Structure 1
Amino acid sequence: MAMELEEISLQQKFDEVIASENKLQIQDFLNHQNISDVAELIYANEDFENQIISHLSIHRAVSVFKILELPTQKRIIHDLPAFKTAELLNELPPDDRTSFLSELPGSAVRELIKTLNPDERKITLSLLGYPENSVGRLMTPDYVYVYEHDSVEDVFNTIRRYAKSSETIDVLYVLNDKGELLDDIRIKDFIMAAPEKKVSDLMDGRFISLHAEDDQEVASEVFKMNNRVALPVVSKSNKLLGIITIDDVLWVAEEEYSEDIQKIGGTQALDEPYLDVPLLKLYKKRIIWLLILFVGETLTIAAMSGFQKTLEQLLVLSTFIPLIISSGGNSGSQAATLIIQALALGEITIADWWHIAKREIISGILMGVTLGIMGFFIVFGGYHLFDLFGIHYIRIGFAIGIAIIGVVLWGTMMGSMLPLLLKKLGADPATSSTPFIATLVDVTGLLIYFSVAYLFLQGIML
């Protein structure tokens, strides 16, 4: 309740200063708010978003712009006066600027790059030259480096000169005269060292680096496994190209998570908030997967058509079709979800496939036997309580039970192995989404079901 009152009060104050049309008063009000509060004001007052950005000091405007959602960023850049757009883009950190530009059409990127000063333009074009979703797109050239022959006193002189424009000074990077990375040293180690001590005396050579061509997911894994706020990015020849900071990796992790969730649900990933996606674009994103799944389900019709005579002779088999295929689809979807999540978290790798397969075989058998016993007792109970299924109910019960075991085991294996196969082929494991697994298991599950039923009932009921 207190938070709601605070938000109402902030909005009321904003309305008052905007109504005053006093530029100095507006600037003073906005520049004394938290960055996150200013962002919320922009979201709540879309008609004033450009006015808010324009009245902020440039450094605070940059800080606010960085945390805004992409559709809002696009509107602001589109509607800002040209000189203000140039000022904002030139002040943006190179990694944030590259991230924003990479989401725009090529024609828009070309026009915006013209607004950058020569140095920033060179940096931006360099970063945009790296593959999409690579570490190179995330790195910034704003860091502090020192040489191995420097003294600690030299290091602090360097910090005083360059720290203001650096992304972070928690870690300093040690280079040789060729620009090759030799080590990274925390600033606290320099603070505790004697002024005359050499950098080489503090080095231990145990540093962790990323390659510019690495996938951004690799960076996320490395940060997760190491307690670092920033990591150096090097070329194949170990030349230091830039650094990547934890805040950028957190944004990537959030985007990857959202994308995977959408793919698991059977749709292409949305690159903007749901309510901001035009209906036609939303339709295109969803219809493709639905068409693929629709065509896949036609194979189910083909499978059932092949057993049409069997169904005509024993109608009771058709009553269990929803039970059979849903059991296989559900077990496959469960397995796929668990494996996709484990891959995303780095808990498993492709090399673990045999260990995973053995676990899923045992799990599939246990789950299948449990459901199969339930299926048998459904038939058993149906005969004794409602006089269903006829005198051969025992054989029908065994056919249903064994078929469920087979279908659940098959679904579990497909759900666990398909994401690993896609990962091996270089595709996104999330594309083996639960609807796709369910569709695939539907078709094969019917074949297993009718084959088992034919074996058990041949010569007696068929």
Structure 2
Amino acid sequence: MIREELFYKVNDLLKANDDKGFARLVRNTPSADLAEMMDNAKAEFNLGLLRKLPSAPRAGLFSHFSASLQDLLLHYMELEEIAELFTHMPSDDRVDIYNRMPDGRRVQVMQGMAKKEREDILKMASYAEGTTGSITTSDYVSVPAGISVRDALQRVRAQAPNKETIYTIYVVNPNRQLEGALSLRDLIMADESAAIENIMKTEVVYAKAEWPCEQTANLISRYDLLAIPVTNGGNKLIGIVTVDDAMDVSEEEATEDFHKGGGTMALKNISMKDATVGLLYKKRVFWLVLLVFGNIFSGAGIAHFEETILAYVALVFFLPLLIDSGGNAGAQSSTLMVRALATGDVILKDWFSMLGREFSVALLLGLSMGLAVATLGIFRGGYEIALVVSMSMVAIVIVGSVIGMSLPFILSRFKLDPAAASAPLITTIADGVGVIIFFSIAVMMLDMPTDV
């Protein structure tokens, strides 16, 4: 059902006060589709829709809303409604909302919640943003070591209604330390009299709460996990990170890298359509102003070779072509290397081996591009100009590629985000270097003086 059709259907059911029909529609419609439809509706409409739902479906639907819509609706909701919403929401989703709330509002909402939920929120909210602990949910199923399969099944049935996932069961000792794990399938298929220790896997892939989210998401992807257990500094099991949360982390990281690759700062917790003019200005102005000063070096290089340019005006025709080629080659190399570093395909110590390979690739690319541009050189200025332009193309592409490949490694070495080696930055550096290479070769080949 398309968004507009769904909106009118829901609106008609609300106007007709058809609670049963509305409940049936909500039950048979994916929450993600409903959330997308409501994202563009008015606050009054959305509140009326939510208040028609029972507590659990309401909390589930609210979890799918964008952060901006969640914050808007919370502004209009009563404290009792928010407390009830928090009680039925997945623990990781409610912590995200809690962290965005003003301090005074947090205290008021927490006063209306049960002690267990309060403690869970405060524990999860204590982890810094960007760490695995900040996206961990406590909605997992665990059983103690030393029990039978029959007893474990009973405990799973008792916990299942309130948990986000039950497909993996974690075995813990009396100190809540992770002893092993087993799938629900293994538990169901095992002999009921068997001991849990005999069927569980003791080599469990796990994550640490203090690890970066991206590291944990990579583990989930590498081992094809539905969820990964998370332990704290004392090796106690504090929760799990599910595959859907890992996908969100990967999407956010890819979006952030994409933004940085374009020379902007990342937009976090806000969509492009909700971003204000002032916010977009602040996210973009820094790099643009910085790169303006970077381009001064290109202008200075051109001024230095003024006499060469006056003697061979034809060289100016090839200047944009050559320096853009160096920037493009560098941007390609940088993009490939940033992604390889992000996925762990290469690490810092691989720089030297990658440098040799990149040089070889860049040489082949430069020769191909040099041959292509030589024809234009002959047509515009004769064989001497063609030789200068083709040699410059080879050198500029090689240098641009090496710079583009090396910058992500250099930034990683200094604990900076390699995605900051953005295309505009690479292009600016390659432009300045390209100008110097081009006119230096021209001076040597054409035996012309420079302007000193």
Same fold, judged at TM 0.5 (above): yes
* Distance of aligned partners of 1:189 and 1:365 in 2 relative to their CA distance in 1, 3 Å threshold: same
Q: In the alignment, which residue of structure 2 is the partner of 1:127?
A: 124
CA distance in 1 between partners of 2:114 and 2:239 (Å): 20
Residue 440 in structure 1 maps to residue 429 in structure 2: yes
**In structure 2, C-alpha distance between the alignment counterparts of 1:424 and 1:72, rounded to whole Å:** 39
Contact 1:30 1:56 in 2 (8 A): no
Q: CA deviation at 1:408?
A: 0.5
Whole-Å separation in 1 of the counterparts to 2:234 and 2:200 = 20
What's the counterpart of residue 399 of structure 2?
Answer: 410
Query: How far 1:60 moved relative to its partner?
Result: 0.8
Q: Distance in 2 between matches of 1:23 and 1:288?
A: 54
Q: Aligned residue for 1:327?
A: 325
Maintained 8 Å contact 1:264/1:430: yes
Q: CA deviation at 1:225?
A: 0.9
1:32/1:147 CA distance change after superposition, 3 Å? closer
User: What's the counterpart of residue 48 of structure 2?
Assistant: 51
Residues of 2 paired with 1:154 and 1:43: CA distance? Answer: 45
Residues 109, 329 of structure 1: alpha-carbon distance in 2 compared, 3 angstrom cutoff: farther
What residue in structure 2 maps to residue 430 of structure 1?
A: 419
Secondary structure of the residue aligned to 1:55 is coil
Question: Which residue of 329, 338, 343 maps to 2:336?
Answer: 338
Match of 2:446 in 1: 457
CA deviation string 1:199-257 (max 9, x = no partner): 11123422100000111111111111112111110123322121111111111111112
Corresponding residue of 1:375? 373
Find the counterpart in structure 1 of residue 249 from structure 2.
Answer: 252
1:377-392 to structure 2, matched below 5 A, reads 377-382=375-380, 389=381
Distance 1:235 1:111, change over 3 A: same
Aligned to 1:273: 271
Quick check: 2:443–2:449 contact (8 Å CA) kept in 1? no
* Correspondence 1:28 to 2:23: yes
Q: What value does the CA root-mean-square deviation take over the aligned residues?
A: 2.3
The answer to whether the 8 Å contact 1:39/1:67 transfers is yes
Give the 3-state SS of the residue equivalent to 2:204 in structure 1.
coil
SS in 2 for 1:320: helix
Report the alpha carbon displacement of residue 301 of structure 1 after superposing the two structures with TM: 1.6
Counterpart contact for 1:18–1:26, Cα < 8 Å: no
Q: Unaligned 5+ residue runs, structure 2?
A: none
* 1:137/1:292 CA distance change after superposition, 3 Å: same
- Residue 113 of structure 1 deviates from its aligned partner by 4.6
Aligned to 1:302: 300
311-320 vs 104-113, greater mean Cα deviation: 104-113
The one-letter code of the counterpart of 2:282 is: K
Q: Is the 8 A contact 1:144 1:162 kept in 2?
A: yes
CA distance in 1, matches of 2:398, 2:311: 28
Pairwise CA distance, 1:460: 8.8
Q: Distance in 2 between matches of 1:32 and 1:235?
A: 38
Where do 1:34-433 residues align within 5 Å? 34=29, 35-47=31-43, 48-104=45-101, 109=106, 112-271=109-268, 272-382=270-380, 389=381, 393-433=382-422
Distance 1:108 1:423 in 2: 40
In 2, are the aligned partners of 1:264 and 1:432 still within 8 Å (CA)?
yes
Q: Is the 8 A contact 2:337 2:408 kept in 1?
A: yes
Deviation of 1:339 after TM superposition, in Å, equals: 1.8
Given residue 402 of structure 2, which amino acid in structure 1 is its aligned partner? Answer: M
Go from structure 1 to structure 2 and tell me whether the alpha carbon gap of 1:29 and 1:408 turns closer, same or farther (over 3 Å shift): same
Q: Distance in 1 between matches of 2:450 and 2:26?
A: 83
Relative to structure 1, the CA distance from residue 299 to residue 222 in structure 2 (aligned partners, 3 Å threshold; closer, same or farther) is same
Instruction: State the Cα distance separating 1:317 from its structure 2 match.
Output: 2.4
Instruction: After TM superposition, give the deviation of residue 281 of structure 1 in Å.
Output: 1.0
Q: Displacement, 1:114?
A: 4.9
* CA distance, structure 1, for counterparts of residue 328 and residue 109 of structure 2: 49
Matched to 1:441, the amino acid is: A
TM-score normalised to the size of structure 2?
Answer: 0.92
Superposed displacement of residue 129, structure 1: 1.6
Q: Which runs of 5+ in 1 are unaligned?
A: 383-388
Total equivalences in the alignment:
448
Q: What is the CA–CA distance in structure 1 between the aligned matches of 2:239 and 2:128, rounded to whole Å?
A: 16
Pick closer, same or farther for the CA change 1:416–1:100 going to 2, 3 Å: farther
CA-CA distance at 1:372 after TM superposition:
1.4
